[in-house]
Structure 1
Amino acid sequence: MTPATWLAAGLATGLAADKKSAEVTDWTARIGWLVGLALFVALVYWLMREGWKWRSTLQGDLPELPARPSPTTTLNGGGKPPQPGMPSDPGPAKLSMTGRYHGSTTAGQWLDRIVAHGLGTRSRAELTLTDAGLDVVRPGAADFFVPAAALREARLDKGIAGKVLTEGGLLIVTWQHGDRLIDSGFRSDRAAEHHEWVTALNSMIKTTSTEGAER
Protein backbone atom coordinates (compact mmCIF):
# COMPACT_ATOMS: atom_id res chain seq x y z
CA MET A 1 0.00 0.00 0.00
CA THR A 2 1.43 3.34 -1.05
CA PRO A 3 1.86 6.26 1.38
CA ALA A 4 -0.92 8.09 -0.46
CA THR A 5 -3.26 5.17 0.12
CA TRP A 6 -2.35 5.06 3.82
CA LEU A 7 -2.99 8.78 4.06
CA ALA A 8 -6.38 8.49 2.35
CA ALA A 9 -7.38 5.59 4.59
CA GLY A 10 -6.34 7.54 7.68
CA LEU A 11 -8.32 10.59 6.61
CA ALA A 12 -11.41 8.46 5.94
CA THR A 13 -11.13 6.81 9.37
CA GLY A 14 -10.72 10.21 11.03
CA LEU A 15 -13.74 11.66 9.24
CA ALA A 16 -15.87 8.66 10.21
CA ALA A 17 -14.81 9.06 13.85
CA ASP A 18 -15.55 12.79 13.77
CA LYS A 19 -18.99 12.15 12.24
CA LYS A 20 -19.82 9.56 14.91
CA SER A 21 -18.67 11.93 17.62
CA ALA A 22 -20.77 14.73 16.11
CA GLU A 23 -23.84 12.51 16.06
CA VAL A 24 -23.38 11.69 19.77
CA THR A 25 -22.92 15.37 20.55
CA ASP A 26 -26.09 16.27 18.58
CA TRP A 27 -28.17 13.73 20.53
CA THR A 28 -26.89 15.09 23.82
CA ALA A 29 -27.77 18.64 22.81
CA ARG A 30 -31.18 17.53 21.58
CA ILE A 31 -31.99 15.74 24.83
CA GLY A 32 -30.87 18.76 26.81
CA TRP A 33 -33.05 21.01 24.66
CA LEU A 34 -36.09 18.77 25.19
CA VAL A 35 -35.54 18.68 28.95
CA GLY A 36 -35.23 22.46 29.00
CA LEU A 37 -38.42 22.83 26.98
CA ALA A 38 -40.28 20.47 29.33
CA LEU A 39 -39.12 22.46 32.36
CA PHE A 40 -40.21 25.72 30.69
CA VAL A 41 -43.68 24.31 29.93
CA ALA A 42 -43.97 23.06 33.52
CA LEU A 43 -43.00 26.51 34.82
CA VAL A 44 -45.57 28.24 32.62
CA TYR A 45 -48.26 25.79 33.75
CA TRP A 46 -47.34 26.35 37.41
CA LEU A 47 -47.46 30.13 36.98
CA MET A 48 -50.87 29.89 35.29
CA ARG A 49 -52.17 27.68 38.10
CA GLU A 50 -50.88 30.06 40.76
CA GLY A 51 -52.41 33.01 38.90
CA TRP A 52 -55.73 31.15 38.76
CA LYS A 53 -55.59 30.48 42.52
CA TRP A 54 -54.66 34.10 43.20
CA ARG A 55 -57.59 35.35 41.12
CA SER A 56 -59.93 32.95 42.91
CA THR A 57 -58.74 34.31 46.26
CA LEU A 58 -59.37 37.89 45.12
CA GLN A 59 -62.92 36.88 44.16
CA GLY A 60 -63.57 35.24 47.52
CA ASP A 61 -66.31 37.80 48.26
CA LEU A 62 -68.47 36.38 45.47
CA PRO A 63 -71.45 34.59 47.10
CA GLU A 64 -72.28 30.96 46.51
CA LEU A 65 -74.24 30.43 43.32
CA PRO A 66 -78.05 30.08 43.66
CA ALA A 67 -79.47 26.58 43.79
CA ARG A 68 -81.67 25.28 41.02
CA PRO A 69 -85.31 25.41 42.25
CA SER A 70 -87.23 22.15 42.35
CA PRO A 71 -90.33 20.84 44.14
CA THR A 72 -88.25 18.27 46.06
CA THR A 73 -86.13 21.06 47.55
CA THR A 74 -89.04 22.45 49.55
CA LEU A 75 -91.15 19.31 49.98
CA ASN A 76 -88.43 16.94 51.17
CA GLY A 77 -86.04 19.44 52.69
CA GLY A 78 -83.15 18.30 50.51
CA GLY A 79 -80.48 20.58 49.04
CA LYS A 80 -80.37 24.34 49.43
CA PRO A 81 -83.60 26.30 49.97
CA PRO A 82 -84.67 28.55 47.12
CA GLN A 83 -83.85 32.22 47.42
CA PRO A 84 -86.59 34.64 48.53
CA GLY A 85 -88.85 35.59 45.65
CA MET A 86 -87.80 32.60 43.56
CA PRO A 87 -90.47 30.00 42.74
CA SER A 88 -90.05 26.53 44.20
CA ASP A 89 -90.93 24.95 40.85
CA PRO A 90 -89.09 26.18 37.73
CA GLY A 91 -92.06 25.32 35.49
CA PRO A 92 -91.94 24.11 31.88
CA ALA A 93 -89.00 24.91 29.64
CA LYS A 94 -89.37 27.90 27.32
CA LEU A 95 -86.13 27.21 25.44
CA SER A 96 -83.36 24.65 25.62
CA MET A 97 -79.92 24.59 24.05
CA THR A 98 -76.79 22.46 23.96
CA GLY A 99 -73.38 23.92 23.25
CA ARG A 100 -70.35 25.25 25.08
CA TYR A 101 -69.80 27.52 28.04
CA HIS A 102 -66.83 29.82 27.33
CA GLY A 103 -66.46 31.50 30.71
CA SER A 104 -67.61 34.49 32.74
CA THR A 105 -66.14 37.95 33.26
CA THR A 106 -66.96 41.16 35.04
CA ALA A 107 -69.67 42.78 32.90
CA GLY A 108 -68.23 44.97 30.17
CA GLN A 109 -64.66 43.74 30.76
CA TRP A 110 -64.22 40.75 28.50
CA LEU A 111 -60.70 39.91 29.78
CA ASP A 112 -61.48 40.17 33.53
CA ARG A 113 -62.18 36.46 33.98
CA ILE A 114 -64.18 35.22 36.96
CA VAL A 115 -62.95 31.87 38.27
CA ALA A 116 -64.61 31.59 41.71
CA HIS A 117 -67.13 28.78 42.24
CA GLY A 118 -66.08 27.05 39.02
CA LEU A 119 -67.22 29.88 36.73
CA GLY A 120 -63.81 29.97 35.07
CA THR A 121 -63.98 26.40 33.77
CA ARG A 122 -64.86 26.08 30.09
CA SER A 123 -67.06 23.10 29.34
CA ARG A 124 -69.95 21.61 27.45
CA ALA A 125 -73.25 23.09 28.59
CA GLU A 126 -76.98 22.47 28.45
CA LEU A 127 -79.12 25.58 28.92
CA THR A 128 -82.78 25.62 29.89
CA LEU A 129 -84.83 28.78 30.19
CA THR A 130 -87.94 28.69 32.41
CA ASP A 131 -90.06 31.25 34.27
CA ALA A 132 -87.72 30.74 37.23
CA GLY A 133 -84.58 31.67 35.31
CA LEU A 134 -81.67 30.21 33.38
CA ASP A 135 -80.43 26.75 34.32
CA VAL A 136 -76.89 25.87 33.18
CA VAL A 137 -75.94 22.19 33.42
CA ARG A 138 -72.26 21.44 32.73
CA PRO A 139 -71.06 17.83 32.45
CA GLY A 140 -67.72 17.57 34.24
CA ALA A 141 -67.99 21.04 35.80
CA ALA A 142 -70.13 22.84 38.39
CA ASP A 143 -73.70 23.63 37.35
CA PHE A 144 -75.16 27.03 38.10
CA PHE A 145 -78.52 28.75 38.01
CA VAL A 146 -79.41 32.38 37.25
CA PRO A 147 -82.76 33.45 38.77
CA ALA A 148 -85.05 35.44 36.48
CA ALA A 149 -84.82 38.44 38.82
CA ALA A 150 -81.01 38.44 38.43
CA LEU A 151 -81.03 38.56 34.62
CA ARG A 152 -80.05 41.96 33.22
CA GLU A 153 -79.36 41.68 29.48
CA ALA A 154 -78.72 39.29 26.60
CA ARG A 155 -76.76 40.16 23.46
CA LEU A 156 -74.57 38.72 20.73
CA ASP A 157 -70.83 39.30 20.81
CA LYS A 158 -67.62 37.77 19.50
CA GLY A 159 -65.34 37.46 22.53
CA ILE A 160 -65.20 36.70 26.24
CA ALA A 161 -62.52 35.62 28.71
CA GLY A 162 -59.83 35.66 26.03
CA LYS A 163 -61.90 33.52 23.63
CA VAL A 164 -62.61 35.21 20.28
CA LEU A 165 -65.05 33.82 17.71
CA THR A 166 -66.78 35.24 14.67
CA GLU A 167 -68.97 38.33 15.00
CA GLY A 168 -72.16 37.32 16.83
CA GLY A 169 -70.72 33.89 17.57
CA LEU A 170 -71.36 34.15 21.30
CA LEU A 171 -74.52 34.52 23.34
CA ILE A 172 -73.63 36.81 26.26
CA VAL A 173 -75.93 36.79 29.28
CA THR A 174 -75.45 39.59 31.82
CA TRP A 175 -76.67 38.85 35.34
CA GLN A 176 -76.43 40.22 38.85
CA HIS A 177 -74.78 38.14 41.56
CA GLY A 178 -74.26 39.81 44.91
CA ASP A 179 -72.73 43.22 44.22
CA ARG A 180 -71.24 42.14 40.90
CA LEU A 181 -72.55 42.24 37.35
CA ILE A 182 -71.36 39.19 35.40
CA ASP A 183 -71.17 38.42 31.69
CA SER A 184 -71.38 34.70 30.86
CA GLY A 185 -70.63 33.50 27.33
CA PHE A 186 -72.27 30.55 25.56
CA ARG A 187 -72.13 29.16 22.03
CA SER A 188 -74.90 26.91 20.78
CA ASP A 189 -74.20 23.87 18.65
CA ARG A 190 -76.64 25.58 16.27
CA ALA A 191 -75.57 29.23 16.21
CA ALA A 192 -78.81 30.24 14.45
CA GLU A 193 -80.54 29.77 17.84
CA HIS A 194 -78.68 32.72 19.37
CA HIS A 195 -81.11 35.35 18.07
CA GLU A 196 -84.09 33.47 19.51
CA TRP A 197 -82.37 33.29 22.88
CA VAL A 198 -81.54 37.00 22.88
CA THR A 199 -85.18 37.85 22.13
CA ALA A 200 -86.58 35.46 24.76
CA LEU A 201 -84.16 36.53 27.50
CA ASN A 202 -84.63 40.25 26.93
CA SER A 203 -88.41 39.79 26.84
CA MET A 204 -88.27 37.94 30.16
CA ILE A 205 -86.01 40.63 31.65
CA LYS A 206 -88.41 43.38 30.56
CA THR A 207 -91.41 41.50 32.00
CA THR A 208 -89.63 40.78 35.29
CA SER A 209 -88.54 44.42 35.62
CA THR A 210 -92.08 45.67 34.95
CA GLU A 211 -93.60 43.28 37.49
CA GLY A 212 -90.98 44.28 40.06
CA ALA A 213 -91.70 47.99 39.56
CA GLU A 214 -95.46 47.44 40.00
CA ARG A 215 -95.09 45.72 43.35
Structure 2
Amino acid sequence: MTAELAEQQARVTDWPGYIGWTVGLLILIALVYWLMRQGWNWRRTIQSDLPPLPGVPEDIGPAILKAEGRYHGSTTAGNWLDRVVAHGLGTRSLAQLALSEQGLLVRRPGDEDLWIPAAQLTGARTDSGIAGKVVPAGLLVVTWDHQGTALDSGFRADHPDEHAAWIQAIDALVTRTKTKNTEEAAS
Protein backbone atom coordinates (compact mmCIF):
# COMPACT_ATOMS: atom_id res chain seq x y z
CA MET A 1 0.00 0.00 0.00
CA THR A 2 2.77 2.44 0.82
CA ALA A 3 4.52 1.61 -2.44
CA GLU A 4 1.34 2.50 -4.41
CA LEU A 5 0.94 5.71 -2.45
CA ALA A 6 4.56 6.65 -3.09
CA GLU A 7 4.11 5.91 -6.80
CA GLN A 8 0.97 8.12 -6.99
CA GLN A 9 2.76 10.93 -5.20
CA ALA A 10 5.66 10.64 -7.62
CA ARG A 11 3.30 11.02 -10.58
CA VAL A 12 1.54 14.02 -9.04
CA THR A 13 4.81 15.79 -8.31
CA ASP A 14 6.42 15.23 -11.71
CA TRP A 15 7.33 18.91 -11.99
CA PRO A 16 9.87 18.59 -14.81
CA GLY A 17 7.19 16.98 -16.96
CA TYR A 18 4.61 19.67 -16.14
CA ILE A 19 7.10 22.44 -16.74
CA GLY A 20 8.15 20.89 -20.04
CA TRP A 21 4.54 20.67 -21.26
CA THR A 22 3.85 24.23 -20.11
CA VAL A 23 6.90 25.63 -21.87
CA GLY A 24 6.03 23.66 -25.02
CA LEU A 25 2.48 25.01 -24.98
CA LEU A 26 3.72 28.59 -24.50
CA ILE A 27 6.13 28.18 -27.42
CA LEU A 28 3.29 26.85 -29.59
CA ILE A 29 1.06 29.83 -28.66
CA ALA A 30 3.91 32.26 -29.40
CA LEU A 31 4.51 30.58 -32.78
CA VAL A 32 0.83 30.84 -33.74
CA TYR A 33 0.76 34.50 -32.70
CA TRP A 34 3.93 35.20 -34.71
CA LEU A 35 2.47 33.49 -37.79
CA MET A 36 -0.74 35.52 -37.49
CA ARG A 37 1.30 38.72 -37.27
CA GLN A 38 3.33 37.70 -40.33
CA GLY A 39 0.08 37.11 -42.25
CA TRP A 40 -1.21 40.55 -41.28
CA ASN A 41 2.06 42.18 -42.42
CA TRP A 42 2.02 40.16 -45.66
CA ARG A 43 -1.54 41.37 -46.37
CA ARG A 44 -0.45 44.99 -45.69
CA THR A 45 2.43 44.56 -48.16
CA ILE A 46 0.14 43.13 -50.85
CA GLN A 47 -2.27 46.04 -50.38
CA SER A 48 0.44 48.71 -50.36
CA ASP A 49 -0.69 49.90 -53.81
CA LEU A 50 -3.94 51.19 -52.29
CA PRO A 51 -3.73 55.02 -52.51
CA PRO A 52 -3.74 57.07 -49.31
CA LEU A 53 -7.14 57.81 -47.81
CA PRO A 54 -8.68 61.26 -48.29
CA GLY A 55 -7.93 63.76 -45.54
CA VAL A 56 -10.66 64.75 -43.12
CA PRO A 57 -11.97 68.25 -43.87
CA GLU A 58 -12.05 70.79 -41.05
CA ASP A 59 -15.79 71.30 -41.44
CA ILE A 60 -18.07 68.60 -42.79
CA GLY A 61 -21.17 70.75 -42.49
CA PRO A 62 -24.32 69.98 -40.53
CA ALA A 63 -24.83 66.30 -39.79
CA ILE A 64 -27.79 64.51 -41.34
CA LEU A 65 -27.31 61.54 -38.99
CA LYS A 66 -25.01 60.71 -36.09
CA ALA A 67 -24.38 57.41 -34.32
CA GLU A 68 -21.94 55.74 -31.98
CA GLY A 69 -20.85 52.15 -32.19
CA ARG A 70 -18.01 50.06 -33.53
CA TYR A 71 -16.06 50.05 -36.75
CA HIS A 72 -15.37 46.43 -37.70
CA GLY A 73 -13.07 46.90 -40.67
CA SER A 74 -13.13 47.13 -44.44
CA THR A 75 -13.04 44.51 -47.16
CA THR A 76 -12.98 44.55 -50.92
CA ALA A 77 -16.58 45.03 -52.08
CA GLY A 78 -18.47 41.81 -52.49
CA ASN A 79 -15.84 39.68 -50.75
CA TRP A 80 -16.64 39.82 -47.05
CA LEU A 81 -13.58 37.76 -46.08
CA ASP A 82 -10.93 39.81 -47.93
CA ARG A 83 -9.98 42.25 -45.17
CA VAL A 84 -8.19 45.43 -46.21
CA VAL A 85 -5.48 46.28 -43.66
CA ALA A 86 -3.66 49.08 -45.52
CA HIS A 87 -3.96 52.57 -44.02
CA GLY A 88 -5.51 51.22 -40.82
CA LEU A 89 -8.71 50.07 -42.53
CA GLY A 90 -8.46 46.62 -40.94
CA THR A 91 -8.28 47.80 -37.34
CA ARG A 92 -11.42 47.42 -35.27
CA SER A 93 -12.26 50.29 -32.99
CA LEU A 94 -14.96 52.29 -31.32
CA ALA A 95 -16.46 54.76 -33.76
CA GLN A 96 -18.58 57.86 -33.99
CA LEU A 97 -20.29 58.19 -37.36
CA ALA A 98 -21.51 61.46 -38.83
CA LEU A 99 -23.17 61.74 -42.24
CA SER A 100 -23.40 65.14 -43.92
CA GLU A 101 -24.00 66.38 -47.46
CA GLN A 102 -20.22 66.28 -47.97
CA GLY A 103 -19.75 62.65 -46.94
CA LEU A 104 -19.34 60.17 -44.10
CA LEU A 105 -16.95 60.82 -41.21
CA VAL A 106 -15.89 57.95 -38.97
CA ARG A 107 -14.09 59.20 -35.87
CA ARG A 108 -12.05 56.38 -34.38
CA PRO A 109 -10.50 57.14 -30.98
CA GLY A 110 -6.98 55.78 -30.87
CA ASP A 111 -6.79 55.33 -34.63
CA GLU A 112 -6.85 57.45 -37.76
CA ASP A 113 -10.26 58.91 -38.65
CA LEU A 114 -11.87 57.75 -41.88
CA TRP A 115 -13.42 60.24 -44.30
CA ILE A 116 -15.51 59.04 -47.24
CA PRO A 117 -16.52 61.94 -49.52
CA ALA A 118 -20.11 61.85 -50.80
CA ALA A 119 -18.88 61.41 -54.39
CA GLN A 120 -17.19 58.13 -53.38
CA LEU A 121 -20.20 56.61 -51.59
CA THR A 122 -22.03 54.02 -53.69
CA GLY A 123 -24.56 52.55 -51.26
CA ALA A 124 -25.35 50.95 -47.93
CA ARG A 125 -27.00 47.78 -46.69
CA THR A 126 -27.29 45.55 -43.66
CA ASP A 127 -25.39 42.31 -43.74
CA SER A 128 -24.63 39.42 -41.46
CA GLY A 129 -20.85 39.60 -41.52
CA ILE A 130 -17.61 41.24 -42.51
CA ALA A 131 -14.10 39.76 -42.10
CA GLY A 132 -14.15 38.18 -38.68
CA LYS A 133 -17.42 39.61 -37.37
CA VAL A 134 -20.70 37.77 -37.90
CA VAL A 135 -23.95 39.16 -36.54
CA PRO A 136 -27.19 38.01 -38.20
CA ALA A 137 -28.44 41.09 -40.12
CA GLY A 138 -26.71 43.28 -37.59
CA LEU A 139 -24.00 45.17 -39.47
CA LEU A 140 -24.31 48.36 -41.45
CA VAL A 141 -22.11 47.92 -44.52
CA VAL A 142 -21.22 51.07 -46.46
CA THR A 143 -19.92 50.52 -49.99
CA TRP A 144 -17.61 53.16 -51.43
CA ASP A 145 -15.11 53.64 -54.22
CA HIS A 146 -11.55 54.56 -53.28
CA GLN A 147 -9.84 55.67 -56.49
CA GLY A 148 -10.99 52.67 -58.51
CA THR A 149 -11.10 50.13 -55.68
CA ALA A 150 -14.57 49.26 -54.41
CA LEU A 151 -14.59 48.76 -50.64
CA ASP A 152 -17.13 47.68 -48.01
CA SER A 153 -16.78 49.11 -44.51
CA GLY A 154 -18.69 47.50 -41.64
CA PHE A 155 -20.20 49.27 -38.65
CA ARG A 156 -22.35 48.19 -35.76
CA ALA A 157 -24.28 51.02 -34.13
CA ASP A 158 -24.94 50.90 -30.40
CA HIS A 159 -28.62 50.85 -31.41
CA PRO A 160 -28.82 48.56 -34.48
CA ASP A 161 -32.41 49.60 -35.14
CA GLU A 162 -30.88 52.85 -36.49
CA HIS A 163 -29.31 51.00 -39.45
CA ALA A 164 -32.43 51.35 -41.63
CA ALA A 165 -32.33 55.15 -41.30
CA TRP A 166 -28.63 55.13 -42.20
CA ILE A 167 -29.27 53.06 -45.32
CA GLN A 168 -32.02 55.44 -46.46
CA ALA A 169 -29.91 58.54 -45.77
CA ILE A 170 -26.81 57.19 -47.53
CA ASP A 171 -28.79 56.00 -50.55
CA ALA A 172 -30.50 59.41 -50.78
CA LEU A 173 -27.12 61.15 -50.56
CA VAL A 174 -25.70 58.91 -53.29
CA THR A 175 -28.67 59.71 -55.55
CA ARG A 176 -28.36 63.48 -54.92
CA THR A 177 -24.62 63.39 -55.57
CA LYS A 178 -25.02 61.45 -58.84
CA THR A 179 -27.75 63.84 -60.00
CA LYS A 180 -25.61 66.86 -59.15
CA ASN A 181 -22.58 65.40 -60.95
CA THR A 182 -24.69 64.59 -64.03
CA GLU A 183 -26.08 68.12 -64.13
CA GLU A 184 -22.59 69.64 -63.77
CA ALA A 185 -21.26 67.43 -66.56
CA ALA A 186 -24.14 68.44 -68.86
CA SER A 187 -23.56 72.17 -68.40
Measured against the shorter chain, the TM-score band is: over 0.9
Larger radius of gyration: 1
5 Å matches for 1:127-166?
A: 127-166=97-136
Where does residue 126 of structure 1 map in the other structure?
96
Q: How big is each residue's C-alpha offset from its partner over 1:170-212, in whole Å with a ceiling of 9 and x where there is no partner?
A: 0000011122000000000001100000000000001101111
Q: For 1:126, what is the secondary structure of its paired residue? A: strand
Q: For 1:128, what is the secondary structure of its paired residue? A: strand
Q: Which has the higher contact order (CA 8 A, sep 6+)?
A: 2
Across the two proteins, how many residue pairs are aligned to each other? Answer: 184
Aligned partner of 2:29 among 41, 50, 62: 41
Superposed displacement of residue 17, structure 1: 2.5
Superposed displacement of residue 65, structure 1: 0.9
Q: Which runs of 5+ in 1 are unaligned?
A: 1-11, 71-88
Q: State the TM-score, normalizing by the size of structure 2.
A: 0.94
5 Å matches for 1:52-201?
A: 52-70=40-58, 89-166=59-136, 168-201=137-170
Where does residue 182 of structure 2 map in the other structure?
213
**Is the strand fraction higher in 1 or 2?**
2
1:18 aligns with 2:4: no
Question: Could you tell me the percent identity over the aligned residues?
Answer: 54
The letter for the 2-side match of 1:107 is A
Q: How big is each residue's C-alpha offset from its partner over 1:80-118, in whole Å with a ceiling of 9 and x where there is no partner?
A: xxxxxxxxx421111100000111000000000000010
CA RMSD of aligned residues (A): 1.2
Q: How big is each residue's C-alpha offset from its partner over 1:141-171, in whole Å with a ceiling of 9 and x where there is no partner?
A: 22110000000010110100121101x2000
Q: For 2:153, what is the secondary structure of its paired residue? A: strand
- Ranges of 4+ aligned residues in structure 1 off by more than 6 Å: none
Q: State the TM-score, normalizing by the size of structure 1.
A: 0.82
CA distance in 1, matches of 2:11, 2:162: 62
Q: For 1:98, what is the secondary structure of its paired residue? A: strand
